[in-house]
A and B are shown apart, each in its own frame.
Chain A
Amino acid sequence: MKILTGNDLKSGAVTWWTGEGWSLHVNDAADVGEHFADVIAREEAARNVFAAYVIDGERTAEGVRPAHIKDRIRALGPTVRPDLTLKPADPEALNWVI
C-alpha cells in the first residue's frame, strides 16, 4: 500500500493521511494509491500539513507498518525514549520498529 505522511504546520508533529484528514497514529493511515499528488497539493495549500511525501507500507494484523525503518521510527517516536513515543505504556511497541 501507499501511505501519505507529512508534518503538522504548527507543531511539526508527524501525521498520516486517513483518507479524510490527518492522524498522529500510523494505524489510521489509508492506502492513498496513485492519487497522492492532488491530496498533497490540496492539503499543503490549506496548511493542514507540510513536507508531505508518499511511502510504501503494509497493512498487517497488528496495524499499518511503513516499509522503511526511518518511517517506522517516525511513526512511533525515538526508540531510545519510549516515554516520548505514542505508545509509552506499551513495552512491545518497539518490536515492529526495528
Chain B
Amino acid sequence: MYKYDQYDHDMVQTRVEEFRDQVRRRLSGELTEDQFRPLRLQNGLYLQLHAYMLRVAVPYGTLSSTQMRLLGDIADKYDRGYGHFTTRQNIQYNWIKLEETPDLLAELAGVEMHAIQTSGNCIRNISSDQYAGAAADELIDPRPYAELLRQWSSFHPEFLTLPRKFKIAVIASETDRAAMKLHDIGIKMVRNAAGEIGAQFYVGGGMGRTPMIAPMIREFVPLDQLITYSEACLRVYNRYGRRDNKYKARIKILVHELGKEEYTRQVEEEFQHLLGQGIEPPLAELERIGQYFADPAFETGLSDDLDVSDPDFRLWVEHNTAPHKQAGYIIATVSLKPVGGIPGDATADQIRLMADIARDHSFDELRVTHAQNIVFPHIKKADLYAIWQQLEAAGIGTANLDTIGDIIACPGLDYCSLANARSIPIAQKLSERFVPKQEEIGELKLKISGCINACGHHHAGHIGILGVDRKGKENYQLLLGGSEGADTSLGTITGPGFDEDGIVDAVEKATEVYLNKREDGERFLDTYRRIGMAPFKEAIYG
C-alpha cells in the first residue's frame, strides 16, 4: 500500500500543529465558535448529538495492520472503547474531547492517517472496490488511480470551497462493489479496442434528497489525461454549480439542469483548454505510485482445497468469502453485523484482533467496505478455518454477507444531529426477526437512513427504509427495488409510512411476497423487477 513521502509527512504534521494552535486559541477565547467551527470541520471534527465526533479518513478503504491497531487504541484512549465504520469507508469516533483532539491527530499522523477533508465542501475521501488488488474479476488494481486522485485532490486550492461536498469512486471490475454510479464522479477503469487501459467517466450521480444515477459522459480517457479530465469536470461544476441553495448545489443538479450533452460539451471545452496548461502529472508519477500496490509475495503451488466439514464454517465461507486472483488464496469479509448488533460498530479489542489477523495472515492489509464491513484481502485458504474461529470467538464471525442481516444503517437519531429518526434499532429488530429466514431469502440488500441525506444508502437498497419526523414522532418509509451494483437503480416508495414495529412487519410482508412469487434463481430484486410494485403494495397495505 501507499507510503507517505517526506512531503506527505510534513504536510500532515504541519496541519496537526496548526490545529493544535487553533484549539488553544478557541479554548482561550481568542476564537469564537463561529470562527472556530469551519476550522474544526476542516479537520473532521463535528458536533453531534451527544459530543464531538471525529471522522478519520481511510483512503479508498485500505488500512495496514499498524493503522488498524491504532484505530483500536484510539477507541480506548480517546473514546469509549469502540469505533463506527461508515459507508464512506471511513471510521468515526462518537465521544471525542476537543482538548484531546490535537494529540489524537498527532497519533494518527504517526501512522500516516488524518481527518482532513472528511467534512466541508471539498473533494472527500476517494472510495474504491474493497477487493481491489485481490479480486479474480478485476481488470487492473484501481488503487493507484485512486491514490493519484487523492494526491491531486488533497489541499487542491481551487476545490476547497466547492458549491457542495464532492465524492469520487474508482473501480476496475464489471461487478461494481463501490456504488460507483451514485457518486459525483464515478470512474471505471476499462480497456479500449486498442488494448490500452483508460478511465470511463460517469458524472452527476448521488443519493440524498434528489437521488440520481450518473450518466456516462466519456467512454475512454487515456491514463495520461486522467487528472486533466477530472479537473475539467470539477472546474465546470465549480464555475456553474449553484451556491444559492444548498439543496440544489450538488453536481447532479447541475448535470441534470444543463443536460448531459451540454455539461459534457462544457467539460470537453475546458478539457481542451487544460490540455495546453500542462497540469497532468508525468506518467512516471503514476508508475511510482503503482509500485506501492504491487502484488505481495504470494506463495505458489498452494492447494485450493478447503475443509468445510464444520457446517457453521461452511456457511461463513459460502457467504463471507470471494474468489482471489491467486490460487490457494481467498478474500474474506468480516461482517460487523452480528445478530441484534449495531451495524458498523467494532470494539477496540475487535479492531485490534482484526489488525493482528491482517498482520499474520493477510500481508498486513485490511479494507473497509462501504457496507460497513472489514475485508482481509489475501488469506491463505489453509489458514481460513483458524481465522474464522478467532473471529467467531470475538463475536464477529457472523455468516450473513449480502443477506437481509447485513444491513447498512447510518448512526441515525441515536447519534446524528441531522437525523429525524433512529436507524439502528430498526436494523437490530430486522436482523433478529429474520435470522430463521436468512438462508431461505438469500441475497437481499437492506439499507436504512435516518434522514433524507441518505448516509444509509436507502435509495440503493433492494429494500430501503427512510426515517422521517412526522409531527415529532419517528416514522419510516419503505422503498423497494434499489440497487447500487452494475445494475444501479433507485428504489420506489411503497406508500404511507410506518411506526417502529410496523416497518419491521412491512419488510416481512415484502419478503413473503418474494418467497411466494419468485422463480428459480431469482433474488428479491429480480422478482421485484419482474412482477413490479403492485403485489408488494397489496400485501403490505392490504
Which of B96, B413, B425 has a CB less than 8 Å from the CB of A12? Answer: B96
Among the listed A11, A51, A80, which residue makes an inter-chain contact with B33, where contact means beta carbons less than 8 Å apart?
Answer: A51
For residue B97, CB closer than 8 A to chain A, the reply is: yes
Whether a CB of chain B sits under 8 angstroms from the CB of A84 is yes
CB-CB nearest 9 A-B residue pairs = A12-B52, A12-B51, A78-B414, A50-B33, A80-B424, A11-B97, A10-B99, A80-B414, A74-B49
- Counting CB contacts under 8 A, is A69 at the interface? yes
Q: Mark B441-483, 1 if CB is under 8 A from A, else 0.
A: 0000000000000000000000000000000111000000000
For the complex, is B315 an interface residue (Cβ under 8 Å from A)?
A: no
Q: In the complex the two chains form, is A7's CB within 8 Å of B47's CB? A: yes
With A78-B414, A80-B342, A80-B424 known as contacts, the answer to whether A13 contacts B29 (CB < 8 A) is no
Complexed CA–CA distance, A67 and B342 (Å): 27
Chain B residues closer than 8 Å to A78, beta-carbon distance: 49-50, 414-415, 424
Binding site for B on A (CB under 8 A): 7, 9-14, 44, 47, 50-51, 67-70, 73-74, 77-81, 84
When C-beta atoms are compared, the residue in chain A nearest to B342 turns out to be: A80
| 8 Å CB interface, B19-73 against A | 26-27, 29, 33, 47, 49-52
Q: Assess whether A9 is in contact with B98, with CB atoms less than 8 Å apart.
A: yes
B265, CB-defined interface residue at 8 Å: no
Chain A hits for B424, CB < 8 A: 78, 80
Contacts of A81 in B (CB 8 A): 342, 414
| Complex contacts, A44 vs chain B, CB 8 Å | 33
Are A79 and B49 in contact, CB atoms less than 8 angstroms apart? no
Q: Within residues 396 to 448 of chain B, which ones have a CB less than 8 A from any CB in chain A? A: 413-415, 417, 419, 422, 424-425, 428
| Supplied contacts A70-B49, A81-B342, 19 more A-B pairs, CB within 8 Å | A7-B51, A10-B97, A11-B51, A11-B97, A11-B99, A12-B96, A14-B49, A51-B47, A69-B472, A70-B413, A70-B419, A73-B413, A74-B49, A74-B50, A78-B414, A79-B422, A80-B414, A80-B425, A81-B414
In this assembly, does B80 line the interface, its C-beta being within 8 Å of a C-beta of chain A? yes
What residues on A are CB-neighbors of B413 within 8 Å? 69-70, 73
Interface centre among A10, A47, A78 (most CB of B within 10 A): A78
Return chain A residues, CB-CB under 8 Å to B425. 79-80
Q: How far is the CA of A48 from the CA of B424 in the complex (A)?
A: 32
When distances are taken between beta carbons in the complex, the residues of chain A under 8 Å from B472 are 67-69
Closest B residue to A84 by beta carbon equals: B80
Question: Nearest-CB distance from B324 to chain A (Å)?
Answer: 36
Distance of B19 from chain A, by nearest CB (Å): 15
Given A70-B413, A78-B414, A79-B422: A12 and B27 within 8 A (CB)? no
Point out the residues of chain B lying under 8 angstroms from A77, CB to CB. 50
**Chain A residues near B342 (CB-CB < 8 A):** 80-81
**Of the residues A7, A14, A68, A79, contact of B414 by C-beta under 8 Å:** A79
Residues of B near A80 (CB, < 8 A) are 342, 414, 422, 424-425, 428
What is the bound-complex CA distance between A59 and B50, given in angstroms? 22
Q: How far is the CA of A44 from the CA of B37 in the complex (A)?
A: 14
For chain A, what secondary structure do more than half of its interface residues adopt (helix, strand, loop), or is it mixed? loop
Distance between B78 CB and nearest chain A CB, rounded to angstroms: 12
A47 and B27 form a contact (CB under 8 A): yes
**A73-B49 in contact (CB<8A):** yes
Q: Could you say which residues of chain B place their CB within 8 Å of the CB of A69? A: 413, 472-474
Residues of A within 8 A of B47 (CB): 7, 12, 51
Nearest CB on A from B43, distance (A): 14
Find out whether the CB atom of B50 lies under 8 angstroms from the CB atom of A10: no
Q: In the bound complex, how far is the Cα of B268 from the Cα of A36, in angstroms?
A: 56
**Contact (A47, B29) CB under 8 Å given A12-B97, A79-B414:** yes
CA distance A84 to B98 in the complex (A): 19
Query: Which A residues touch B26, using CB under 8 A?
Result: 9
List which B67-99 residues lie within 8 A (CB) of chain A: 80, 95-99
Distance in angstroms from A22 CB to nearest chain B CB is: 15
Cβ-closest chain A residue relative to B473: A69
Bound Cα distance A81, B47 (Å): 19
Selected A-B contacts with CB under 8 Å, 5 pairs: A10-B97, A12-B95, A12-B98, A14-B49, A78-B415
Which residue of the partner chain, among A10, A14, A67, A68, contacts B98 with CB atoms under 8 Å? Answer: A10
In angstroms, how far is the closest chain B Cβ from the Cβ of A29? Answer: 16
Looking at B51, B96, B428, which has the most chain A CB atoms within 10 Å of its CB?
A: B51
**Once bound together, how far apart are the Cα atoms of A96 and B342, in whole Å?**
22
Residues from chain A with Cβ under 8 Å of B49 in the complex: 14, 70, 73-74, 78
Which chain A residues lie closer than 8 Å to B29 at the CB level?
A: 47
Inter-chain contacts of A14 with B (CB < 8 A): 49-51
CA distance A46 to B97 in the complex (A): 19
Question: Which residues of chain A are within 8 angstroms of B51 by Cβ–Cβ distance?
Answer: 7, 11-14
Taking the closest CB of chain B, its distance from the CB of A93, in whole angstroms, is 14
Residues of A with C-beta under 8 A to B414: 73, 78-81
Given A73-B49, A77-B50: A9 in contact with B27 (beta carbons within 8 A): yes
- Report B342 CB to chain A, min CB distance, Å: 6
Chain B residues whose C-beta falls within 8 Å of the C-beta of A50 in the assembled complex: 33
Q: Kindly report which residue of chain B lies nearest to residue A47, judged by CB atoms.
A: B29
Cβ of A42 to closest chain B Cβ, rounded Å = 13
B27 touches A10 (CB 8 A): yes
Residues of A within 8 A of B80 (CB): 84
* Interchain nearest-CB distance for B338 vs A (Å): 13
Q: Report the separation of the CA atoms of residues A24 and B372 in the bound assembly, to the nearest whole angstrom.
A: 32
A68 to B29, CA, bound (A): 32
Distance from B439 Cβ to chain A, minimum over Cβ atoms (Å)? 26
B373 to chain A, nearest CB (A): 19
- Across the interface, name the chain A residue whose C-beta is closest to B423: A80
